[in-house]
Amino acid sequence: MFFALSKIFGFFTTPSNVIAAVCAIGAVLLLLRRQRAGTLTLTFGILLLLLAGYSPAGNVLLLTLTERFPAWQSDGRDPDGIIILGGAIDSDLSAARDALEINGAAERIFAMLDLARRYPAARIVFTGGSGNLLDNSRPEAPVAGQLLQRFGISADRVLLESASRTTDENAIFTRRLLLPKPGERWLLVTSAFHMPRSIGAFRAAGFDVEAYPVDWRSRGWIDAATPFDSLSGGLRLTDLAMHEWTGLVSYWLTGRGSALFPAPPRR
């Protein structure tokens, strides 16, 4: 139930969808000869579109997330295992083309292969089923498993979790699969903007992991004052940021996250 509700709620809280709805309502009001209300509503929608598309608002919203957890630094102690969250592989397209097809979160896959090479004794866990509400899409994990095999990673090191559809299911199902022992060191690989919600979900599931953020999407706070040079670029980042903020709030309210805005542990 939570999966379906999260997808539906997410659709109606996506800024580009909200803006489109406001503009559509304004157009309908004009067609109904409600000139004043229609003009004001349509003008408001256009202003929202310009703000979300060209202003640095999307960068500011996303940077607040991406800068929460710093890049992982090795202290000389090798990890016992590496967990990679799904979301980077287009499994249906990969199957149709008989080739690996990845999206804007491709850094998760590169990090998986790099870490598997750097730490040959570490177990590799890929967790990712299908997050599609309407279509019965293929899970990501088997595709990742085939890729690891192709790169010469021993199957004895690899565990695949294909049932999860949401981040909290990633955490719960992975913990059940691994039954981690006290003192073990596990790295969690996901996009930097997704790391706060992911860490919160794993902590709520009782699984202590270390953040290994990738896929930063910006140079840092220097981009907080940089406007976008295309409407689509700004809208894409604003949608992405609001999706994560909405997820953080919903996870906190439903007990699926350990805190509203999880932070790195104090050293």
- Give the residue extent of every domain in the chain: 2-65+225-248, 72-216
Quick one: which of 175, 183, 223, 220 has its CA closest to 201? 175
pLDDT confidence tier of residue 130, bands split at 50, 70 and 90: confident
Contact yes or no for 210/186 (Cβ under 8 A): yes
* CATH number listed for the domain at residues 72-216: 3.40.50.620
14 pLDDT higher than 60: yes
Contacts of 263 (CB under 8 A, 6+ apart): 68
Whether 132 shows a pLDDT value over 70: the answer reads no
Helix (H) or strand (E) holding 18: helix 15-31
pTM of the predicted model, to two decimals?
A: 0.91
pLDDT grade for 138, boundaries at 50, 70 and 90: confident
For residue 12, name the pLDDT band (cuts at 50, 70, 90): confident
pLDDT band at 161 (very low <50, low <70, confident <90, very high): very high
Q: Quick one: pLDDT band at residue 129, thresholds 50, 70, 90?
A: confident
